């Protein structure tokens, strides 16, 4: 009995093993560590070379034919590398590929700085969409607004998160039997490290040698400070872009295609709150439209309200269009994607209000386009007016697409937006905005449609496409137009280094034309200036132009 009591007493003070608290599972995604194959190394070599070319041709080559070919080569190389391991290929992918190539080719036909800027950004957009579609990197529903996050992930997160994988792939190779583990170090990595360490030392040694020996100095006499800085910048940026693009493509083939998340069907903003808010907005819009019917629709007939000039009328129309349409786009996103869903759809009242917003915006856009056409007919074309008109057209397509999506929910509206933007930018690139502006203004002035030509706008056009049109104005009877036309031609001769100081006197030379910047408008201007260079120089000096 005593033993039983002792056993009970001992058990009473034994530690109690409570169940462990619930710990959520930890999803750890291991870092990508794959040795590079021979195919990977070939792709890396081509990509490195093309990355250097793209950087140099963009920053120092003027973005002409050389950049067109290098950008197409870079794009096609990436597609050829991933195509055998593709997970998806559709008509949408083909459209993206087509518009990328056309956009790159438009760099050869355009000399407009801002036009090239738009084209290059569109090419970046299309390259990300192509990779995302080809390797099925989407986590969201294709063609929806949530696909923007997939594109950002493909363009930004994937390249930067794969930097470690790049160096591992470049510096390692598979084992002797072809297995992934263990891997062997690759001599390529050691060579690259050695070359990289030698660069800063050579930057110090080479200038010292050129200063110590005349023969060595003559050998490197073409390597000026500008040339050295160009080489350094090209190497630094080229290597950086190579690492990001190679990491993006290398890691894309190891990304798992995940189940797509459907558009937000969970809780959102209360329908009553949203409906009340949008009803108040739409009532104000309806009253505004009703009270301004005469004001708005006068634009279609070319009539002006009392006490308004054409400039004031057109500017006010543009301000209204941009402000209200941007607000309406934000409101549409709030109504359609921030509301509570029922069976995957927004409440009927919100869809009806969204339809009203779209129709109201289309009326504003149509009116503003009419006003802009009236403005152009009266004062000519400028870069801003041309780009504004194209932007209006893009907004029109967006609102029409949203109307269709309200009735046909499977419509991939984001794909429509991407293809529309690519199409408009490509057409703009082939047309060359600077050439369009110069051609319209000069031809309308010479034909009598315009009473005057805006010579200040022609002078400010950042394109050589203006040269042939300025030459047409050198016979104009208006002394102001005549003088400004010769000044424009003289300034472009300076840009081509056709006027240099030799033995203390300014003389006409053949100039310098960088083959990297070759494009149709600039080459045409260069040949015209070469042909009439002496006449332009003599006339400019007669008018005191220096």
Higher pLDDT, 53 or 501: 53
pLDDT tens per residue, range 431-487: 888 889 998 999 988 888 888 888 888 888 878 888 999 889 888 888 888 888 888
| The predicted structure's pLDDT at residue 273 | 80
Average the pLDDT over each of 80-94, 269-283, 390-404 and give the range with the smallest value: 269-283
**DSSP codes of every residue in 461-520:** --SGGGHHHHHHGGG-S-HHHHHHHHHHHHHHHHHTT-EEEETTEEEE------GGG--H
| The predicted structure's pLDDT at residue 121 | 92
| The predicted structure's pLDDT at residue 95 | 93
Q: What percent of the chain shows pLDDT beyond 90?
A: 16
DSSP β-ladder status, 499-502 and 505-508:
antiparallel
pLDDT tens per residue, range 517-545: 888 888 888 888 888 888 888 887 776 66
pLDDT tens per residue, range 216-253: 666 565 554 445 677 788 888 998 999 999 999 998 88
| The predicted structure's pLDDT at residue 420 | 94
- 19, 255, 326 from 25: Cα distances, Å: 17, 21, 44
505 DSSP β-pair partners:
502
pLDDT tens per residue, range 420-434: 999 999 999 998 888
| The predicted structure's pLDDT at residue 74 | 94
Alpha-carbon span 453 to 436, nearest angstrom: 14
Burial degree of 261 (CB within 10 A; 0-12, 13-18, 19+)? middle
* Residue 17 reports pLDDT greater than 60: no
pLDDT tens per residue, range 143-156: 777 788 888 888 98
Among 155, 162, 128, residue whose Cα is nearest residue 36: 162
| The predicted structure's pLDDT at residue 88 | 83
Among 127, 130, 148, residue whose Cα is nearest residue 88: 130
pLDDT tens per residue, range 40-53: 889 988 999 999 99
CA-based Rg of the chain, rounded to a whole angstrom?
A: 32
Q: Which one-letter DSSP state was computed for residue 83? A: G
| The predicted structure's pLDDT at residue 51 | 93
CB 452 within 8 A of CB 442: no
Arithmetic mean of pLDDT over the chain: 79
pLDDT tens per residue, range 248-287: 999 888 887 555 555 544 466 777 787 788 888 888 888 8
| The predicted structure's pLDDT at residue 345 | 67
pLDDT tens per residue, range 371-394: 788 888 888 888 888 888 888 899
Spans of all domains in the chain: 38-252, 271-432, 434-542
Higher pLDDT, 168 or 51: 51
* Residue 134 reports pLDDT greater than 80: yes
The band of 72, judged by pLDDT with boundaries at 50, 70 and 90, is: very high
* Residue 340 reports pLDDT greater than 90: no
DSSP β-ladder status, 183-185 and 499-502:
unpaired
Alpha-carbon span 401 to 190, nearest angstrom: 55
Please report which residue ranges of 265-309 form alpha helices under DSSP H: 271-291, 293-301
Q: What is the mean pLDDT of residues 326-352?
A: 75
């Amino acid at each position: 009995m005593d033993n039983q009591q002792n056993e009970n007493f001992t058990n009473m003070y034994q530690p109690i093993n409570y169940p462990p608290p619930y710990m959520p599972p930890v999803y750890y995604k291991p870092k990508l560590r794959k040795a590079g194959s021979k195919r990977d190394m070939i792709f890396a070599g081509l990509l490195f070379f093309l990355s250097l070319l793209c950087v140099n041709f963009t920053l120092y080559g003027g973005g002409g034919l050389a950049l067109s070919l290098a950008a197409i080569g870079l794009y096609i190389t990436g597609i050829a590398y991933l195509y055998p391991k593709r997970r998806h290929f559709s008509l949408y992918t083909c459209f993206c590929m087509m518009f990328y190539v056309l956009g790159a080719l438009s760099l050869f036909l355009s000399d407009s700085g801002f036009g090239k800027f738009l084209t290059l950004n569109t090419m970046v957009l299309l390259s990300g969409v192509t990779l995302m579609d080809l390797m099925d990197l989407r986590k969201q529903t294709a063609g929806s607004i949530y696909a923007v996050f997939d594109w950002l992930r493909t363009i930004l997160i994937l390249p930067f998160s794969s930097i470690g994988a790049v160096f591992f792939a470049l510096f390692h190779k598979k084992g002797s039997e072809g297995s992934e583990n263990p891997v062997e170090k690759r001599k390529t990595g050691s060579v690259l490290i050695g070359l990289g360490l030698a660069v800063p030392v050579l930057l110090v040694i080479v200038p010292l040698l050129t200063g110590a020996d005349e023969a060595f100095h003559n050998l490197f006499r073409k390597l000026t400070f500008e040339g050295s800085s160009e080489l350094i910048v090209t190497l630094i940026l080229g290597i950086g872009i190579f690492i990001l693009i190679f990491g993006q493509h290398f890691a894309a083939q190891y990304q798992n295609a995940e189940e797509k998340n459907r558009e937000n069907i969970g809780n959102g903003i209360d329908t009553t709150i949203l409906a009340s808010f949008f009803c108040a907005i739409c009532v104000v819009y309806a009253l505004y439209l009703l009270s301004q019917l005469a004001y708005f629709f006068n634009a279609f007939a070319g009539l002006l309200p009392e006490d308004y000039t054409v400039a004031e009328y057109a500017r006010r129309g543009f301000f209204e269009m941009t402000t209200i349409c941007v607000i309406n786009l934000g409101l549409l996103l709030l109504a359609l994607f921030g509301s509570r869903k029922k069976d995957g759809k927004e409440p009927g009242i919100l869809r009806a209000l969204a339809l009203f917003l779209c129709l109201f915006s289309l009326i504003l856009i149509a009116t503003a386009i009419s006003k802009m056409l009236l403005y152009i007919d009266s004062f000519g074309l400028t870069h801003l007016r041309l780009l504004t008109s194209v932007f209006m057209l893009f907004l029109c397509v967006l609102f029409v697409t949203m109307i269709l999506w309200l009735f046909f929910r499977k419509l991939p509206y984001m794909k429509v937006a991407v293809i529309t933007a690519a199409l408009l930018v490509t057409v703009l690139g082939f047309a060359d905005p600077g050439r369009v502006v110069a051609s319209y203004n000069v031809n309308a002035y010479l034909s009598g449609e315009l009473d005057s030509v805006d010579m200040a706008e022609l002078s400010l056009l950042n394109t050589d496409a203006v040269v042939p049109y300025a030459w047409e104005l050198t016979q104009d009877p208006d002394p102001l137009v005549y003088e400004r036309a010769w000044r424009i031609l003289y300034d472009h001769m300076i840009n081509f280094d056709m006027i240099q100081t030799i033995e203390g006197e300014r003389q006409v030379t053949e100039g310098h034309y960088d083959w990297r910047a070759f494009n149709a408008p600039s080459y045409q201007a260069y040949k015209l200036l070469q042909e009439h260079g002496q006449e332009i120089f003599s006339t400019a000096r007669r008018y005191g132009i220096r």
